[in-house]
Amino acid sequence: MDPELEPFVPLIPRPDYADPAAERAMTAALVASLPAPDTSAMEVTDADVPVPVRMYRPRGARGAVVWLHGGGGIVGDLDTEHPSAARLAEASGVLVVSVGFRLAPEHVFPAALDDAYAALCWLAEHAADLGVDPARIAVGGMSAGGGLAAAMTLRARDEDGPPIRFQLLNQPMLDDRRHTWSARAFTRTPRLDAENLAVIWKANLGAAPATPYAAPARATDLSGLPPAYVATAEFDPLRDEGIAYAVRLLQSGVSVELHQWPGTFHGSQAILSAQVSQRQNAELAAALRRALETSDLPD
């Protein structure tokens, strides 16, 4: 474990995703206790499109990302994601469209994906009104949100949907089968472990079998997808499926940047005092900025 992160481990409560109401309340209280992000250098707007979104517009933003929060698809909303979305917008210079998608277990698959995809379609349709270049639209997310972002690229490819320039997958949740070494071996890792990962997938899928849109690792064809940045954490049950997905993307002809962060655990980049967290967050924003500001895009 990274020496700057290790002292925080005993202080981190183990999530109880079997009690969604309590876990949501705990997460909301935790985020509310943190210092509010400085958004004075950007415009922040809430809208229903009809999915609830919160948009963070830095000055001069030309690119945009549909951003999907973590929380296992069970926890999280526009307010709890506010600090992370604001930091991403500030550091990347990109319009961040944070999506308040429906949550499990009240709304099982495909509710969250439908909401995320609706936000993408709305953004693409209204790009000119928002001052966004339609050739500079990305999707991204953390954990369950990273899995949704990956699923959106599959759906957009299959349905000839809005063009997606880039996918930003931070510690993505991709495989309901949980058969990798990390998914089986990490039984008491901070924040996310094998046991509560099983609870998460059950809540998201309900009684239905998983499809590639629910669990992108099940997709047999990854060709024709947008370039990707995939980040994984060393002590995370999702680690190996993220790495395997990145390798499969590469083998399918998709350009990929893969970063495995040593000494980290799932979501540890929220501990902003640690240097490794600062590097993680800076790399995410830099990857997004590079992808949407490359010189080969039309002006």
Phi, psi of 194 (to 5 degrees): -60, -40
Q: What is the dihedral of CA 181, 253, 255, 60, to 10 degrees?
A: -130
Pairing relation of β-strands 64-68 and 228-235?
unpaired
Q: Catalytic one among 82, 236, 240, 277?
A: 236
Q: Catalytic one among 98, 266, 268, 277?
A: 266
Active site residue 98: no
User: How far is Cα 165 from Cα 296, in angstroms, rounded to an integer?
Assistant: 12
Q: Catalytic one among 84, 98, 143, 182?
A: 143
Residues with Cβ within 8 Å of residue 225, at least 6 apart in sequence: 153, 154, 157, 167, 249, 252, 254
Active site residue 129: no
Token pair for residue 6? 């290790």
Pairing relation of β-strands 95-99 and 52-58?
antiparallel
Active site residue 266: yes
Q: Where are the alpha helices (DSSP H) in 93-126?
A: 111-125
User: How far is Cα 88 from Cα 243, in angstroms, rounded to an integer?
Assistant: 23
Residues noted as catalytic? 143, 236, 266
